[in-house]
Amino acid sequence: MLTFVRDETPVPRCSPRARTTTEWRDQAGRMYAVGMTDGQERRIDWPDVGVFRFDPASPTVRFHPSGSQASEIEDFFDRAIQPLVLQAQGLPVLHASAASGPSGAMVFCGPSGCGKSTVSYAVARRKTHEHLADDAVVLQRASGRWALLRVPFRPRLRASAAQHFGVAAPTRATAASGTTPIRAIVSLGQSPDGPVTPRLTRVGPTRAFPILLSTAHCFDDADRDAVSQMVRSYLSVVETVPVFTLDYRPDFSRIAELLAAVDEAAAAAERP
């Protein structure tokens, strides 16, 4: 997959042809990172961490540390940088989590705080399942169908979920190389006013497409060819992979019902 190289030399200056591709901002509108393209080179400048440089045609990512968070770079790279690099290399990437079962991978997407990490971790705790991804799911065509590409990750549970599951500090998971066929995609909708009993609904491609697009990673939205390829990929995904919405109330005492709804989605995905 990607080869991470720590480079202590000064960051080379950008050429006059360099341009900003993306400015990432937090919910308050404050910019926290900048993406740039300079000929074939791509850069991600993340203050207090460093600069990441890569060529979309190469698996090597060079990291020039510059801040206090650089010591925690392994986890940071897996979570924040790896998805952007892989998307720039042409692979569709969803802001999502995933767990596998006997029939393939179940992918859980949705806005921040909807429970993606909690649900995927809960599903993966069962003996017949495996945790495959947290926060970023990389898609790839394999044997004529869409599959999840296994990449290293670390589960990131909220404090309440970690306490419920009795997990102090989930370790980094170095997933086996290869792919896992995607059985279904479930868009989670968590709300205190949601249904007491989890409500599962299968949605068609027309409704599923904007759901997936809203979770997409994109390094350069001005690159028409790359954006066009990304859109075609997502259209293909929703036309071939069953997509569901799952609305529920946050309540750890009813997590068994939530897992039952996930099992229902897996079973329904087998039907036309």
Residue 149 in tokens: 């590409």
pLDDT of residue 127: 82
Confidence of residue 147 (pLDDT cuts 50, 70, 90): very high
Please name which of 154, 206, 208 lies closest in space to residue 186, comparing C-alpha atoms: 208
pTM surpassing 0.85? yes
Judge whether residue 146 has pLDDT over 90.
yes
Query: β-pairing, 179-190 with 243-248?
Result: parallel
pLDDT in tens, 211-253: 999 998 888 888 888 889 999 999 999 999 999 999 999 999 8
Q: Are 207 and 76 in contact (CB under 8 A)?
A: no
* Domain annotation for the chain: domains and CATH numbers: 3-88 (no CATH), 93-269 (3.90.228.20)
- The phi-psi region of residue 104 (left if phi > 0; otherwise alpha if psi is between -120 and 50; otherwise beta) is left
Confidence of residue 108 (pLDDT cuts 50, 70, 90): very high
Please name which of 129, 141, 136 lies closest in space to residue 156, comparing C-alpha atoms: 136
- Beta partners for residue 96, in sequence order: 109
> How far apart (Å, rounded) are the C-alpha atoms in residues 183 and 177?
19
pLDDT of residue 55: 95
Judge whether residue 171 has pLDDT over 80.
no
pLDDT of residue 58: 94
pLDDT in tens, 10-36: 999 999 999 999 998 887 889 999 999
pLDDT in tens, 180-199: 999 999 999 999 999 999 99
pLDDT of residue 69: 61
Average pLDDT over the chain reads: 89
pLDDT in tens, 78-90: 888 999 999 999 9
Residue 51: how many CA atoms within 13 Å on its side-chain side? 15
Q: Are 56 and 89 in contact (CB under 8 A)?
A: yes
Compute the average pLDDT of residues 124-131: 88
- CA–CA distances in Å: residue 67 to residues 6, 49, 51, 81, 260: 13, 5, 10, 16, 45
> How far apart (Å, rounded) are the C-alpha atoms in residues 199 and 188?
10
Please name the amino acid found at residue 146: W
Three-state secondary structure of the chain: CCEEEECCCCCCCCCCCCEEEEEEECCCCCEEEEEEEECCEEEEEECCCEEEEECCCCCEEEEEECCHHHHHHHHHHHHHHHHHHHHHCCCCEECEEEEEECCEEEEEECCCCCCHHHHHHHHHCCCCCEEEECCCEEEEEECCEEEEECCCECCCCCHHHHHHHCCCCCCCECCCCCEEEEEEEEEEEECCCCCCCCEEEEECHHHHHHHHHCCECCCCCCCHHHHHHHHHHHHHHHHHCCEEEEEECCCHHHHHHHHHHHHHHHHHHCCC
